[in-house]
A and B are shown apart, each in its own frame.
Chain A
Amino acid sequence: MALLAGSMAMGVGALYSIGSADLPVQDQQPVRFSHRQHAGTLNIHCQFCHRYATQSPVAGVPSMALCQTCHESLSETTPDMKMLRIYWKEKRPIPWVRLQRLPDHVYFTHEMHLFAGLSCTSCHGNVSGMSSTPRAPTYEMGWCLTCHEQRGASHDCWTCHK
Chain B
Amino acid sequence: MSQDPQATEEYSKTAASPYKWEMVVDLDRCSGCEACVVACHAENNIRISGEEEAAEGRAINWIRIERYWEGDYPNVKAKFLPVMCQHCDDAPCEPVCPVYASYHTPEGLNAQVYNRCIGVRYCGNNCPYVARQFNWFDPHWDEPLAEQLNPDVSVRSGGVMEKCTFCVQRIRSGKEAAHKEGRRVRDGEITPACVQSCPTSALIFGDRNDPDSRVSHLKKSRRGFHLMESLGTHPAVTYLRRLSE
User: Hey, which bits of chain A sit against chain B, CB under 8 A?
Assistant: 54, 103-105, 107, 109, 111-112, 114-117, 156-159, 161-162
Contact = CB atoms under 8 A, between A and B. Distances in A.
Nearest to A55: B180
Contact of B113 (A111, A112, A157): A157
A112 B152 contact: no
Contacts of A111: 176, 180
Contact of A161 (B3, B107, B115): B115
B1 A162 contact: no
B168 A117 contact: no
B105 A162 contact: no
Contacts, number: 50
A114 B179 CA distance: 13
A114 B176 CA distance: 12
Q: Select the residue from A54, A159, A161 with max chain B CB neighbours within 10 A.
A: A161
Interface in B78-115: 103, 105-107, 109, 111, 113-115
A107 B169 CA distance: 9
B65 interface: no
B186 interface: no
A105 B116 CA distance: 10
Contacts of B179: 112, 115
A103 B115 contact: yes
A105 B106 contact: no
B170 to A, nearest CB: 11
A109 B169 CA distance: 12
13 contacts: A105-B154, A107-B152, A112-B179, A112-B180, A115-B179, A117-B1, A117-B3, A157-B103, A158-B109, A158-B113, A158-B165, A162-B153, A162-B168
B1 A104 contact: no
The 5 closest A-B pairs by CB, nearest first: A105-B115, A105-B154, A157-B113, A158-B111, A161-B113
Nearest to A114: B1
